[in-house]
Chain A
């Protein structure tokens, strides 16, 4: 089955800097890659997703890149703000199944 690895487990950046979180997956059939953000005490929420027919997707300060050949995808947050502090999870799934496999999460701390 699918195995998703996520790095780093913790990341601390200064406000205004960029943050990058990387994930690798094992199942070449996976074609849907969402990213979830979980703030303290709240539910995980989808912040951005990418499908395998594109290599990059951007939404304001966040972007995701996908390299299908290497089976890795990354989340990029630019101009980080304290409210970006949260745990971020990557996931991969074969879209018609949608039983997503998640990474272990990255705890991002943005220092003011």
Chain B
């Protein structure tokens, strides 16, 4: 069974540009989460989808971040325009049921220069 996949694995963009990250959850997992880890700090919750619906987006830092999950399959996280402080590793995770084990992708390392 394929795990959670994310791409790109790395992205380097200039301040002010736009970047779109993609996450493909494990097939059949209704729950999809986005997290971010800024260097040396905690893995911070961004938002939670249940199928295509945003269940909780309280962790989204500001309106420069837009997450979508059309059709309830893969998800995208767009940052527009990117700022220096957006640099970090963006993780996606999925789980089959709420309260069940969350499986992580390998993350996308975003560097804004």
Contacts and interface: CB of A to CB of B under 8 A. Distances in A.
Contact of B31 (A6, A9, A91, A98): A98
Interface string B36-48: 0000111111001
Taking residues whose C-beta sits less than 8 angstroms from the other chain, chain A's interface range is: 20 to 34
A64 to B, nearest CB: 14
Contact of A104 (B42, B101, B102): B42
A100 B47 CA distance: 10
A101 to B, nearest CB: 6
B98 interface: yes
A1 B56 CA distance: 12
Contacts of B106: 42-43
Interface string B5-32: 0000000000000000000000000010
B74 interface: no
Contacts of A9: 40
Given A99-B48, A99-B56, A102-B43, A43 B95 contact: no
A37 B101 CA distance: 13
Contacts, number: 66
B102 A96 contact: no
Contacts of A1: 58
Contacts of B31: 98
A104 B37 CA distance: 9
Given A44-B91, A49-B101, A99 B107 contact: no
Contacts of A89: 42-43
Among all A-B residue pairs, the 6 with the closest Cβ atoms: A95-B99, A102-B43, A104-B42, A43-B104, A43-B106, A98-B98
